[in-house]
Chains A and B, each alone.
Chain A
Amino acid sequence: MPYILNTEKDIKEMLTTIGISSLDDLYRHLPNQIKINKKLNLPSGLSEQELRSFIIALAAKNKTINEFNSFLGAGSYKHYVPSALNSIISRAEFLTAYTPYQAECSQGILQAIYEYQSYICLLTGMDVSNASLFDGGSSLAESILMSLRVTQRKKVIISSAIHPEYKRTIYTYLSGFNFKIQEINFDQQGLTDINQLTADGDTACIAIQSPNFFGIIEKLGKISSLAKEKGALVIQVANPVSLAILKEPAAQGVDIVCGDGQALGGFLSFGGPSFGFIATKNEFLRQLPGRIVGKSTDKEGKTAYCLTIQAREQHIKRERATSNICSNQSLNAISAAIYLSLMGKEGLYDCALYSLNLAHYLHGRISEVKGVKINFSNNFFNEFVWNVENQKTVIKKLYKKGIISGLALSKFYPGLKGGILSCCTETKSRAQIDEFIETLKTILN
């Protein structure tokens, strides 16, 4: 039997030690009517050799993004991942350890998470970060719950230009409570419509994504001052790679920053696992959900790390905890710290700069194509919206030519029925963009 090491002889000896005669006796106290008492209706186990061929064949039924000229982004970004990253993060001492409950034999995990927390703070400009949450969507939901605890208010305002799947997550996470969720539309420019923004004394937070779902950089400074007037917190969903170039959230009056960390050296993996990050100001530390690592000393005065501020958490505070989160996405968070270390200051900057430039190059070229209309603002980072008639047909025709042009926005915004969201990262080349444009021209003519 794979992975089970007890031999028949071992089992016999152990049964004797226990004082029973068969393995079935281990279950003799279970009521008979709940026992299965027959073989499961499953295939017999495969040898490793068979398993490998079978799964390789299954994987081969997927066409990977590398087989296309793809401009898909929309919350999951293909960036270049240095080989060294996989080599380090695959080490069993990271991969097969668990939450560092026992600090003395987990110093490496703890220091790596401390470094991760520091990186998130450096990127966002905030004071404190936790050790990770699940993904961008749930990190936003947790941020909103946090703002409700901090302010003790009952209403939240969210921008409709937040990733639609994140928005849906908010509604799900808040469905157990009687909080009011108000959604603010976006304007003609694709920006959250500030004229509709009317926070009041019961508003816990205004949640904004910037760059928003359409790629556009929001006017956070203005939104922050509106929120501050009413004592509401500002939550920003941010793309961590964009922060190499864009103004850090802390400098724009943001109180809680969250988002998805996949762009920091994570693979697409069909959308998961990635990790969620959350960072805030010192004053809200005790309302942060999830694990936090702190630096301390051991009893001989040597620098040592451990999990800390744990009285917020479910294993201590149970029904009064800040969140139910226990397992998080540590390995992905540590992976992001390694990615940032490898890329370094210049590397991350270049990654953001090239993405920005390629996206703007594509934008410039596509806006000259007859039949393409662009309505939204030019202040975008690595993705933007363009429009064509018969959007679905155009997407299909491009797909047949091996081009995935982007995401059809009608999937989430019926009002944007000609809209396509296209993205460029540093992995795109001029040749690929030019091929896309030429093919599009042929199709539209």
Chain B
Amino acid sequence: MATLKFSKTHEWAKIDANIAVIGISDHAQKALGDIVFIELPKIGAKLKANAQFGTIESTKAASELYSPLSGEVTEINKELLNNPQWVNESPFERGWMIKIKVENSNEPSSLMDEAVYKEFAAKEAH
């Protein structure tokens, strides 16, 4: 079964075996507002944990996207590039961004699980 983990920079990773699907949290999309543009890496790009993998823009903000985990990009959500509103409408499903092949199976344990993240996000909002 897939496990859902979160980073301090508000990305989530759904990890199933050695593949992780990555996107941004509901909290993050709400904070950004209407998403208008997303830039994603090329397939095959090698990412380090906490390194930038793309950018995301709303009408009032711009933000970097950071990979929660290290690994190689195996797939990107191409349709999302033309439908950035999916990040707002469905951050965990249609709004997924990239899939990576997880390099280090120990890394996920350093991320937050959902309950801890919710508390973290609530605190940051104040």
Contact = CB atoms under 8 A, between A and B. Distances in A.
Nearest to B60: A316
A424 B79 CA distance: 54
Interface in B4-62: 36-37, 39, 57-62
Nearest to B63: A311
Contacts of A311: 36-37, 57-62
B37 A316 contact: no
Contacts of B39: 286
B37 A310 contact: no
Contacts of A310: 59-60
Interface in A313-371: 316-317, 320
A155 interface: no
A317 B36 CA distance: 15
Contacts, number: 19
Contacts of A286: 37, 39
A79 interface: no
The listed residue with most A CB atoms (<10 A of its CB), out of B36, B39, B59, is B59
A103 to B, nearest CB: 12
Contacts of A291: none
A197 to B, nearest CB: 30
A163 interface: no
The listed residue with most A CB atoms (<10 A of its CB), out of B37, B39, B57, B60, is B57
Contacts of A317: 62
A78 interface: no
A433 B107 CA distance: 79
A286 B81 CA distance: 14
Contacts of B36: 311
A150 to B, nearest CB: 13
The listed residue with most A CB atoms (<10 A of its CB), out of B57, B59, B61, B62, is B62
A167 interface: no
A390 to B, nearest CB: 59
A313 to B, nearest CB: 9
B9 to A, nearest CB: 15
Contacts of A312: 62
A310 B39 CA distance: 16
Nearest to A307: B59
A311 B59 CA distance: 7
A136 to B, nearest CB: 29
A436 B36 CA distance: 60
A309 B39 CA distance: 14
Interface in A266-291: 286
The listed residue with most B CB atoms (<10 A of its CB), out of A309, A311, A316, A320, is A311
Nearest to B32: A311
Nearest to B59: A310
A309 B55 CA distance: 14
A163 B36 CA distance: 39
A309 B37 CA distance: 9
Nearest to B36: A311
A53 B87 CA distance: 64
Interface string B58-72: 111110000000000
A428 to B, nearest CB: 49
B37 to A, nearest CB: 7
B42 to A, nearest CB: 14
Interface string A287-310: 000000000000000000000011
Contacts of B58: 311
Nearest to A318: B62
Contacts of B57: 311
Contacts of A316: 60-62
Contacts of B62: 311-312, 316-317, 320
Contacts of B60: 310-311, 316
A28 B61 CA distance: 39
A316 B57 CA distance: 10
Contacts of A309: 37
A312 B60 CA distance: 10
Contacts of B59: 310-311
Nearest to A315: B60
A424 B64 CA distance: 51
B11 to A, nearest CB: 18
A290 to B, nearest CB: 16
Interface in A383-438: none
A316 B33 CA distance: 13
A312 B37 CA distance: 11
A316 B59 CA distance: 9
> Which 9 residue pairs spanning A and B have beta carbons closest together?
A311-B62, A311-B57, A317-B62, A316-B62, A316-B61, A316-B60, A311-B61, A310-B59, A311-B58
19 contacts: A286-B37, A286-B39, A309-B37, A310-B59, A310-B60, A311-B36, A311-B37, A311-B57, A311-B58, A311-B59, A311-B60, A311-B61, A311-B62, A312-B62, A316-B60, A316-B61, A316-B62, A317-B62, A320-B62
Interface of B: 36-37, 39, 57-62
Given A286-B37, A312-B62, A316-B62, 16 more contacts: A286-B39, A309-B37, A310-B59, A310-B60, A311-B36, A311-B37, A311-B57, A311-B58, A311-B59, A311-B60, A311-B61, A311-B62, A316-B60, A316-B61, A317-B62, A320-B62
